[in-house]
């Protein structure tokens, strides 16, 4: 590279890093981005995007099995695993190439290689081809993301025991599957494989699945998954795995009970840990806590002009949170007026299983634990005309308001298309909307969004259709 001096260097080209680079370029900063694997990072290549392509296939497969309900004939339904995976990989590749175009469009220099901090704004680059070079930048953002967490005795091998990467490109479709962990990643894979016919068992060490979600929604999700034939064990740990030629035996334990489960394959979904190794962070005095970089509300590490964003700084581990941090971090660097720190309670979360789960803000339990006097509204899918017409009558919209001020504290949903609906409440929360504004808003009919309106009405004893 002819030019080695920049206003901003971004290490990592995932949804946090590449968005930060684009915003920096828009603000006139001379920007370079360093990526050791793929533009788009885990999200575009091995996470958000390709998993949604897989889940779309399973969703259609599920709907085809219900064809008779809609007066249609759809016999001898089957799927071709190789074609399912190929489509997913093509979708990922298309998005990754789109990021490359955006880098070029915004005149952002791209370096393929490993980066290591050398101090005083200098970064040593080890190119993929093996060459060494150094660049300098006034500001540096670390956006290296995270990887699947493993525990002793539960290590992935790529053949019998999978991480999310292996689960997206299986060589064979397992007849039986154990998913360890019931967060969004675990539940999405459990849903995908169960919908396509695998016997799926989910093990969660906590007392309920989707543990960060509202307890009422978690309970409904468990009921829905069990109805589909999924076996779920909560309050249970996996003490070890015994690997055979083409199967795995898991030793399960819960208080007062132990047992074994033999399955074809195992998926590890027990969390993620930040990619902090090999960056020279310790030598620069960067504080790391439990595998994640410690930052303040402006993504500052405590080292002058060194920042970190996204999964590498900790939960919530969400692509849109990383992108938002990238923008606010860059705008703070550039001196843009009116920049606000991230409010984690306003970050929406989505699980793209069947049924879908989505939420924003405080759960009912958290609101009460915080000493709030609250009003809670609920509206079921079974009472909504559009849901009935779609044949999607299982689900619930739940809203939580501060009793004194009417502030929207949280919204929690389960059912068809809630991952699209939740943004309405995310916007409302960001605008500090009260129940009064929501009640005075006109929601179109017939739509699923009417349930959002009715849930608000129900919190105040005014539901019209229930």
**How far is 148 from 186, CA to CA, in rounded Å?**
11
Active-site residue, selected from the candidate residues 62, 166, 412, 445: 445
- Crossing angle for the helix pair 418-430 and 450-459, to the nearest 10 degrees: 50
Question: Does 412 participate in catalysis according to the annotation?
Answer: no
Q: Identify which of 10, 86, 87, 92 has the alpha carbon closest to the alpha carbon of residue 43.
A: 92
Taking the CA atoms of 24, 25, 26 and 27 in sequence, report the sign of the dihedral they define.
positive
Rounded CA-CA distance 51/272 in Å is: 17
Q: 107 in helix, strand or coil?
A: coil
The C-alpha atoms of residue 360 and residue 375 are separated, in whole angstroms, by: 16
Q: How far apart are the first and last CA of the chain?
A: 66
Q: Is-contact 111 34, C-beta < 8 A?
A: yes
Compute the CA torsion angle 179, 185, 187, 190 (nearest 10 deg).
-50
The 248-254 sheet, strands edge to edge: 237-243, 248-254, 257-263
Can you say how many angstroms the Cα of residue 222 is from the centroid of all Cα atoms in its chain? 19
Catalytically active residues are 445
């Amino acid at each position: 590279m002819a030019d080695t001096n920049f206003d901003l260097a971004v290490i990592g080209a995932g949804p946090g890093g590449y968005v930060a680079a684009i915003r920096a370029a828009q603000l006139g900063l001379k920007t370079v981005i360093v990526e050791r694997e793929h533009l788009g990072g885990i999200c575009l290549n091995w996470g958000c995007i390709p998993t949604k392509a897989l889940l779309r296939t399973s969703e259609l497969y599920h709907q085809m099995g219900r064809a008779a309900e809609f007066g249609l004939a759809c016999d001898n339904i089957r799927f071709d695993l190789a074609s399912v995976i190929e489509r997913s990989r093509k979708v990922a590749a298309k998005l990754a190439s789109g990021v490359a175009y955006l880098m070029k469009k915004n005149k952002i220099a791209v370096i393929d290689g490993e980066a290591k901090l050398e101090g005083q704004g200098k970064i040593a680059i080890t190119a993929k081809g093996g060459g060494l070079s150094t660049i300098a930048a006034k500001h540096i953002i670390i956006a290296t993301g995270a990887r699947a967490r493993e525990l002793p005795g539960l290590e992935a091998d790529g053949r019998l025991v999978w991480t999310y990467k292996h689960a997206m490109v299986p060589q064979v479709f397992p007849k039986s599957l154990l998913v360890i962990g019931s967060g969004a990643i675990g539940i999405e894979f459990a849903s995908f494989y169960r919908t396509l016919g695998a016997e799926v068992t989910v093990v969660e060490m906590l007392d309920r699945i989707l543990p960060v979600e509202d307890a009422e929604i978690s309970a409904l999700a468990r009921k829905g998954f069990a109805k589909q034939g999924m076996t779920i064990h909560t309050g249970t740990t996996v003490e070890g795995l015994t690997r055979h030629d083409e199967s795995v035996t898991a030793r399960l334990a819960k208080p007062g009970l132990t047992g074994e489960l033999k399955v074809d394959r195992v998926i590890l979904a027990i969390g993620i840990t930040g990619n902090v190794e090999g960056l020279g962070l310790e030598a620069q005095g960067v504080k790391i806590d439990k595998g994640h970089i410690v930052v303040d509300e402006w993504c500052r590490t405590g080292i002058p002009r060194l920042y970190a964003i996204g999964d590498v700084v900790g939960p919530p581990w969400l692509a849109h949170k990383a992108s938002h941090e990238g923008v606010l971090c860059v705008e703070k660097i550039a001196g843009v007026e009116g920049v606000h720190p991230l409010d984690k309670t306003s970050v929406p979360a989505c699980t793209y299983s069947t049924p879908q789960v989505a939420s924003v803000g405080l759960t009912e339990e958290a609101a009460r634990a915080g000493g709030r006097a609250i009003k809670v509204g609920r509206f079921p899918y079974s009472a909504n005309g559009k849901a009935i017409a779609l044949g999607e009558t299982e689900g619930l919209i739940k809203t939580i308001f501060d009793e004194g001020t009417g502030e929207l504290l949280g919204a929690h949903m389960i059912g068809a298309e809630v991952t699209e609906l939740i943004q309405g409440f995310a916007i409302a929360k960001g605008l500090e909307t009260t129940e009064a504004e929501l009640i005075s808003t006109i929601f179109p009919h017939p739509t699923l969004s009417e349930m959002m309106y009715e849930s608000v009405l129900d919190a105040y004893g005014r539901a019209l259709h229930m």
